[in-house]
Structure 1
């Protein structure tokens, strides 16, 4: 896998997902990061997740790959060269405790193998992305289905906001948020990430 420089993630970017967790709908993008050690590329393998820190929830997302440093006036096609599908795995019980104490989410979001992505595909353009649903199947059953049309903050808003607060450059990736339907992972669950009806990546989860 090519070198990824920074991993940015957008929280609560789908209204129904925010509501299903009882969270307020944000008025500006809610950004957090993951360390690069959390990144794992799907190749049909078994991926180990922590089994002794409470529930591990799956959150399927569209992931964009940044092609160049941000400049005002740049188009999406200039800023994004590739897309993938990913899962932002979250230690939900750990996150709940962190939120109670107003602590950062890193322990809940940044563990090894918490950022799973499929191989990247060329960016097909915004219109195609808005016409194509992405989905997550677990053990052959659909668990999540989403479309970036339903995001609270669109792709360019996310890119601009990330640049303004952190900087943004070639090789950075952004997990753009998850739709409703998140839930706990079970030992042995088989995950398939689909773009339309095409499987882009598969793996099996096991607890260590």
Structure 2
């Protein structure tokens, strides 16, 4: 597993995803974070346990970037990012809905163990190269999500600058950059595959416990 310092996540960064959950499309990046304990296993064909006793668990596939060193004003994404992976931002959707009603933070719904499953990181080819390739999620052999970083509301450079300004950004930090439309409910025994273009970067089976 690549060393991880902080896990920053971007909400509602694809317009169609915001609309499918009846959320307003944001006018500035909306960040939340997960504990590092959320990302303790890599998707390498094993079974990964998720909470099965707190209502629906939803999957959200995302493009994830790894930061190589501390951000300084004017730095570009191509200079800062040294690796990329695909990840699942798992969400306890029923728990999140109740927290929203009460105006409470989302940590219970977003920060549980194994809520940030990642594929192994691969070398970052640069933003232009990434724009040429879609990422996708297959469950039980069927594609359920597909996205491209060119569809983001806020591009990687904007996310990096916003995160650095408001929270700091340094070596080992990772950014989950938002999920495209197609999120849905996890069932016990679902087989997940995360693909970069036609290349499978990671696979696992979900076990609801």
CA distance in 2, matches of 1:34, 1:50: 16
- Aligned pairs for 1:94-105 (under 5 A) are 94-105=95-106
Tell me which residue corresponds to 2:166.
Answer: 165
**Uncovered stretches (5+) of structure 2, i.e. residues with no partner:** none
CA distance in 2, matches of 1:32, 1:75: 22
CA distance in 2, matches of 1:3, 1:132: 26
Tell me which residue corresponds to 1:149.
Answer: 150
- Aligned pairs for 1:7-26 (under 5 A) are 7-26=7-26
CA distance in 1, matches of 2:26, 2:76: 25
**Uncovered stretches (5+) of structure 1, i.e. residues with no partner:** none
Q: How many residues align?
A: 208
- Aligned pairs for 1:46-195 (under 5 A) are 46-195=47-196
CA distance in 2, matches of 1:60, 1:13: 12
> Secondary structure at the residue paired with 1:44?
strand
Q: CA RMSD in A?
A: 0.6
8 A Cα contact 1:68 1:78, kept in partner: no
Tell me which residue corresponds to 1:29.
Answer: 29
> Secondary structure at the residue paired with 2:45?
coil
Give the alignment's TM-score, normalised by structure 1.
0.99
CA distance in 2, matches of 1:10, 1:141: 26
Tell me which residue corresponds to 2:46.
Answer: 45
Give the alignment's TM-score, normalised by structure 2.
0.98
Per-residue deviation, residues 134-180 of structure 1 (Å, max 9, x unmatched)? 00000000000000000000001000100111100000000000000
Per-residue deviation, residues 4-58 of structure 1 (Å, max 9, x unmatched)? 1000000000000000000000001000000000102111000000000000000
After TM superposition, what 4+ stretches of structure 1 lie above 4 angstroms from structure 2?
none
Per-residue deviation, residues 48-99 of structure 1 (Å, max 9, x unmatched)? 0000000000000000000111112212221100000000000000000000
